[in-house]
Amino acid sequence: MNNLHQYIRELQTCKIDNNQYSVISQQVKLEGIQKLKFISYNVWFDQHNFVERSIELKKIFLNYDPDFICMQEVTQPFLIQLAQDKEICQKYYFSSPFVNQYDVFILSKYPISFKQMFFPSQMGRNLLFGEININNRKIVIGTTHLESLKNNDNYRMEQLKIIKELLSSYDESIFMGDFNMSKLNEEQSIPENYIDIWKALHPNEEGHTMQASKKFPSVRFDRVLLRQSTYWSPSHIEIIGKDPIPYYQNHQKKQIYEIVTPSDHYGLYAEISFNSK
């Protein structure tokens, strides 16, 4: 674990008001919470219909109103779109005022401190995580974007191993994101003490979240994993973001694999419930 800390850096959680950034991070302790709500969404770094897609993504976020919005492939232009939305800025704290070329990012209703842990990666991939005290139990919330491309399964398995090692020091944790798993043997690398919420609640449904393209078939890249616990249990999960953006309600797509939705991924909305003794 000591070696892991060499690759962890603390971010500047901030509140944004009229384009002014105020750095705010503190220990948060909440009581009487019965449910936590999450969105996990790869928002797609591409410029294809960028502004309209961004508008629709923000609508989805505000409509579901989760406690935490965990995103992957966030670019600085998309972060600016979020920062210019008054309602989002009123409701959420930003895990950082800046991102790298494209990165993981969290909007949180609570001003908790976030950290990044960097993996062995050719693509700059990392885990973004923060800790909050709820009902006298600390729980870690994290998001990640594991190494892309089918042949990089060794990277993904190593990255999951590192996540497992880091989170093993916490009693409660949930992490989510784009896992990019495309080989059957990779399922075995999911930490054995974690519940794949989709599989737990929809065991007979494929739950594909990545749309088919010339490169990939439709697959379930996106996951929400909850550590097995006597205190938290999965209560709901659904796929979101399947509706076409307004442009495609009036225009036909020009190519068979053209993306007509807010992202090339669908998002996941999940809820976990607190089991009081």
Place of tokens 């674990």: 1
Tens digit of pLDDT for each residue in 160-218? 999 999 999 999 999 999 999 877 777 888 888 999 999 999 999 999 998 877 777 78
Domains of the chain (ranges plus CATH)? 2-274 (3.60.10.10)
Question: Across the chain, what does the average pLDDT equal?
Answer: 92
Return left, alpha or beta for 185; rule: phi > 0 is left, psi -120 to 50 is alpha, else beta: alpha
Mean pLDDT along residues 5-31: 86
Predicted confidence band at 18 (pLDDT cuts at 50, 70, 90)? confident
Q: Is 238 exposed, middle or buried (0-12, 13-18, 19+ CB in 10 A)?
A: middle
Q: From edge to edge, which strands make up the β-sheet containing 14-17? A: 20-23, 14-17, 93-94, 103-108, 68-74, 35-42, 267-274, 232-240
Tens digit of pLDDT for each residue in 242-255? 999 998 988 888 88
Listed ranges 3-7, 188-192, 233-237; the one with the highest mean pLDDT: 233-237
> HEC string of 34-45?
CEEEEEEEECCC
Share of the chain above pLDDT 70, in %: 97
Tens digit of pLDDT for each residue in 105-119? 999 999 999 999 999
Tens digit of pLDDT for each residue in 43-75? 999 999 999 999 999 999 999 999 999 999 999
Tell me if 241 sits within 8 A of 261, measured CB to CB: yes
Q: Note the pLDDT of residue 2.
A: 47
Tell me if 28 sits within 8 A of 110, measured CB to CB: yes
For residue 22, give both structure tokens. 């105020």
Mean pLDDT along residues 229-253: 93
Nearest to 42 by CA among 148, 193, 134: 148
**Would you say residue 89 has pLDDT above 50?**
yes
Tens digit of pLDDT for each residue in 31-47? 999 999 999 999 999 99
Nearest to 112 by CA among 189, 16, 213, 24: 24
Mean pLDDT along residues 21-38: 92
How far apart are alpha carbons 146 and 225 in whole angstroms? Answer: 14
Mean pLDDT along residues 1-24: 80
How far apart are alpha carbons 20 and 22 in whole angstroms? Answer: 7
Residues facing residue 178 across a β-bridge: 145, 222
Nearest to 155 by CA among 140, 167, 166, 144: 144
